[in-house]
Amino acid sequence: EAGVTQFPSHSVIEKGQTVTLRCDPISGHDNLYWYRRVMGKEIKFLLHFVKESKQDESGMPNNRFLAERTGGTYSTLKVQPAELEDSGVYFCASSSTGGGYTFGSGTRLTVV
């Protein structure tokens, strides 16, 4: 089966610009998660979708971050306006209920 796909794989933007990250989960996985890893530190939770609904968005840093999941399929994470501290690797993962996560390869975001 196809894995979790994320794009772009890399993005370099200037402070103040907008960036949209996309994640295509494994077909049939109701759960979709966004995580971020900054500077080789721990993988931090951002939010969790169950189908098209936000189950938990307690990890979203602030209102500059907006996530959507259209029709319970792919998801987008928009950062607007981007700040320097938003740099990091953004991972998307999907799972069936109670199952292990399958992670995408991540989007490396660099804000300059």
Which among 65, 42, 41 has a CA at the least distance from the CA of 54? 65
22 lines the binding site for other proteins (CB under 8 A): no
The answer to whether the beta carbons of residues 22 and 6 sit under 8 Å apart is yes
14 lines the binding site for other proteins (CB under 8 A): no
One residue of 42, 63, 70, 84 binding other proteins per CB under 8 A? 42
To other proteins, the closest distance from the beta carbon of 18 in angstroms equals: 25
One residue of 7, 8, 18, 43 binding other proteins per CB under 8 A? 43
71 lines the binding site for other proteins (CB under 8 A): no
To other proteins, the closest distance from the beta carbon of 13 in angstroms equals: 21
Question: Closer CB to other proteins, residue 12 or residue 43?
Answer: 43
Provide the b/e sequence for 3-17 (b: ≥16 CB within 10 Å). ebebeeeebebeeee
